[in-house]
């Protein structure tokens, strides 16, 4: 069968934080409320919900926005509209029904076969929204109802354009590596924050792909929910003897005595009391 021609869209992906951890009645409420939230936000961006194809994902939704939509208005007003709608939602419901969103924006080609949509732009956006660093930002930005992540091309063409209402300084890069060993970078912003919490202000260059598809050093996704599958591990913290008091750290073979701390077998005793030496 010949593949149909693709069409270009602005692609929006929304995912509700901790959806699967909620009681079933809360999931039902959140699922229903998400449509009201999104309809309001699209209206703020000058779009009619009925004119934007939507794919329901249970804990979120995928939206195709016509490519002739103003990207600056879409990014600016969608973010503001979601922020306002989610604040109104929180005023109506208790904590079990609190809705917080990870929202992604990309632009690219999509092949549509009825309700089945495929395209690299969709896959890349899904990885961005599910990335560990993005989850970490939302977890640490406790007073914000959403976090927004955009692709590299959207950041270059829209965010850095100097357009009104879009502050490039409010975006920081989030680097991670997919489960297939592919380095990715998204750009994250949080309404109400000068810069997204939980991300380094000077991350350096994007992670490189290591030989053989392995993860490059420093390319792991962040904590608070992990990354895109098992390929985005959280790097362990680097500890020194000063970081631990009265504790034990397991070490491998070849361990050595450090300062006044003792090593016995594979257990590193830090600040051991004198009567135990």
Share of the chain above pLDDT 70, in %: 74
| DSSP structure class, residue 258 | B
Q: Specify burial of residue 91 (Cβ count, 10 A radius: 0-12, 13-18, 19+).
A: exposed
Question: When comparing pLDDT for 50 and 244, which is higher?
Answer: 50
Report how far residue 198's alpha carbon sits from residue 141's, in angstroms, rounded to the nearest whole number.
8
Predicted local confidence at residue 269, as pLDDT: 38
Q: What digits encode the pLDDT tens for the residues 242-264?
A: 444 444 434 444 444 434 333 33
Going by pLDDT thresholds of 50, 70 and 90, the confidence category of residue 87 is very high
Predicted local confidence at residue 207, as pLDDT: 63
Going by pLDDT thresholds of 50, 70 and 90, the confidence category of residue 3 is confident
Report how far residue 271's alpha carbon sits from residue 263's, in angstroms, rounded to the nearest whole number.
11
- Relative to beta strand 248-250, strand 267-269 is antiparallel
C-alpha dihedral sign at 65, 67, 71, 77? negative
| DSSP structure class, residue 143 | T
Q: What digits encode the pLDDT tens for the residues 203-247?
A: 777 666 443 444 443 333 333 333 333 333 333 443 443 444 444
Predicted local confidence at residue 52, as pLDDT: 96
Q: What digits encode the pLDDT tens for the residues 150-205?
A: 999 999 999 999 999 999 999 999 999 988 889 999 999 999 999 999 998 777 77
Half-sphere CA count of 69, side-chain side, radius 13 A: 28
Going by pLDDT thresholds of 50, 70 and 90, the confidence category of residue 115 is confident
> Mean pLDDT across the chain, nearest whole number?
80
Residues 6 or more apart whose Cβ sits within 8 Å of residue 241: 258, 259, 261, 270, 271
């Amino acid at each position: 069968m010949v593949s149909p021609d693709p069409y270009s869209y602005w692609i929006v992906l929304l995912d509700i934080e901790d959806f699967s951890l909620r009681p079933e009645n809360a999931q039902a409420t959140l699922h229903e409320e998400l449509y009201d939230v999104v309809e309001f936000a699209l209206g703020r961006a000058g779009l009619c919900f009925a004119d934007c194809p939507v794919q329901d994902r249970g804990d979120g939704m995928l939206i195709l926005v016509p490519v002739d939509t103003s990207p600056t208005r879409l990014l600016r007003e969608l973010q503001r509209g979601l922020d306002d709608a989610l604040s109104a939602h929180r005023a109506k419901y208790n904590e079990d029904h609190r809705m917080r969103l990870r929202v992604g924006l990309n632009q690219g080609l999509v092949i549509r076969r009825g309700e089945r949509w495929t395209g690299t732009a969709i896959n890349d956006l899904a990885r961005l929204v599910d990335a560990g660093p993005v989850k970490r930002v939302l977890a640490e930005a406790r007073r914000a109802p959403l976090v927004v992540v955009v692709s590299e091309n959207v950041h270059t063409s829209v965010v850095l354009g100097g357009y009104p209402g879009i502050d490039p300084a409010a975006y920081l890069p989030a680097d991670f590596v997919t489960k297939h060993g592919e380095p990715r970078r998204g750009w994250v912003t949080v309404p109400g924050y000068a810069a997204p919490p939980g991300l380094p202000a000077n991350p350096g260059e994007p992670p490189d792909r290591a030989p053989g598809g392995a993860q490059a050093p420093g390319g792991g996704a962040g904590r608070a929910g992990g990354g895109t599958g098992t390929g985005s591990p959280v790097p362990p913290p680097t500890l020194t003897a000063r970081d631990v008091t009265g504790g034990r750290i397991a070490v491998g073979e070849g361990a050595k005595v450090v300062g006044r701390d003792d090593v016995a077998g594979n257990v590193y005793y830090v600040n051991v009391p004198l009567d135990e030496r």
